[in-house]
Amino acid sequence: MRDKVSVFYYPSEFPDQATLKKSILLFDELHFIDRPSFMFGDVGTIAAPSALRQFEQSFRDEGVPLYVHRPRDGPVQGDFLEQVKSDINDLEFLKQFQRGLENSIVFRDQQIHHGNYGEGGNHEDLARALIGVNVESIFAGKNAATLLLADKAIQHFRFKTDLERAKCLVQQAQTCSAMMNFALQVSEHQGMTPLADSVVYQNLLSTKYARAGNIMRERGSQIQLTDLGVAIFDELVPAERLEQMSLIDVVKYRKETEGPREAFLEHLAALQAKQGTIHDGDYRAAIENIIVGDIVPEARKFKNALDTVYEKLYGAVASGILVSAGSGAMLQVFGDMSWANLLKLAGAAGAGGAALATMSISAIVEYRAACRDCAISYILGLDR
């Protein structure tokens, strides 16, 4: 009997409709949170309830285990704060955040809510201002981002000068980092899988793996750390079809496809155990073989079963809709590090990293092998 696949959606308090529909069809349990009020000194985010709160009981009554949780509000401090500092002081993290604002509408709308920002203009004007910040020149120094945030001479939420816009960029990236690190901690402690709907989050997470790898190399370790093994397979349900279905239709669709969904998730659970038998060496190649040989064929079986049920419920599927090559959901296989170890390494400036520095290399290898139950995470690509 496999463990339930419980996903925790973290980018915002309410997901895109396509994300919600895909998640209903695929995962066992869905978890969301209200928008938290994170405080960073004298500035912070404004709390807001998730729009899903008014529907969560209705979903559960219809057999979809959907839950909305209250977040951990208040000051960001301790190891949590150290993780955020490590992110925003990483030039590559800021670059990836900036690229996300430029290239992904989904990500941009999650980070900059629609509205009027005074002298900054509307949300699109603000996005263009932040995209135009020269991060190479402004954040070239050590701890440049946290030093900029601490500079009282540069006012918050002003956009006239380069430094004011740069400070705003860091503040936005700081909130994004807090949500990501919060999600990673929840996934580790509660056994949930972090879920996002833009590939930008994959890129931001990869910067954490890169920092972890750099730290290990500086200690003279010969362990090869891979970033992420990623397979892009056909979308289980094409976007065109999802757009035509109401949430009530999707719930009914889930009930009718319970058998194929269970078979697919059972297969992924078996692959987690298989992944645990891989030893150091050409780890990336081994993971890619699993993806190509095992995951993709099973995903296609599940997709074919979904097509069959759809025809029974709603009529014949148009031939054009069946083809969605190259667009699909992303299945991420996280190889060498559990979330707990990743957090310790990627935030080595904090207490966690200092504690891990005392571990022997053999202990790290054993710990890594023991924590492969955190191996599978999903990002349902919606970028447009």
pLDDT tens-digit series, residues 326-336: 223 344 443 33
In this structure, is residue 133 part of a structural domain? yes
More confident residue, 268 or 335: 268
- Number of Cβ within 10 Å of residue 195's Cβ equals 26
In this structure, is residue 292 part of a structural domain? yes
- Does 355 score more than 60 pLDDT? no
In this structure, is residue 19 part of a structural domain? no
Alpha carbon 50 to its chain's center: 18
Cα separation, 87 vs 368, whole angstroms: 23
In this structure, is residue 334 part of a structural domain? yes
In this structure, is residue 5 part of a structural domain? no
Q: Are 328 and 296 in contact (CB under 8 A)?
A: no
More confident residue, 288 or 186: 186
In this structure, is residue 269 part of a structural domain? yes
Confidence (pLDDT) at 225:
24
In this structure, is residue 44 part of a structural domain? no
- Does 368 score more than 50 pLDDT? no
Buried residues in 127-143 as b, exposed as e (16+ CB within 10 A): bebbbebebeebbeeee
Q: How many domains does the chain have?
A: 1
In this structure, is residue 249 part of a structural domain? yes
Predicted TM-score (pTM) of the model is: 0.74
Confidence (pLDDT) at 208:
76
Confidence (pLDDT) at 241:
78
Q: Which of 23-32, 321-330, 364-373, 374-383 has the highest mean pLDDT?
A: 23-32
More confident residue, 57 or 340: 57
- Does 100 score more than 90 pLDDT? yes
Q: Which tens digit of pLDDT belongs to each residue from 159-200?
A: 889 999 999 999 999 999 999 888 888 877 787 878 888 878
The H or E element that residue 255 is part of is helix 247-256
Tokens of 337: 């590090």
Tell me which residue has tokens 């809709």. Answer: 321
Tokens of 196: 């996002």
Q: Which tens digit of pLDDT belongs to each residue from 120-148?
A: 889 999 999 999 999 999 998 889 999 99
The residue range of the domain holding 256 is: 76-384
Confidence (pLDDT) at 204:
86
In this structure, of 84-93, 203-212, 325-334, 338-347, the range with the lowest mean pLDDT score is 325-334
Q: List % helix, strand, coil for the chain (3-state, nearest 5).
A: 55, 10, 30
Confidence (pLDDT) at 381:
65
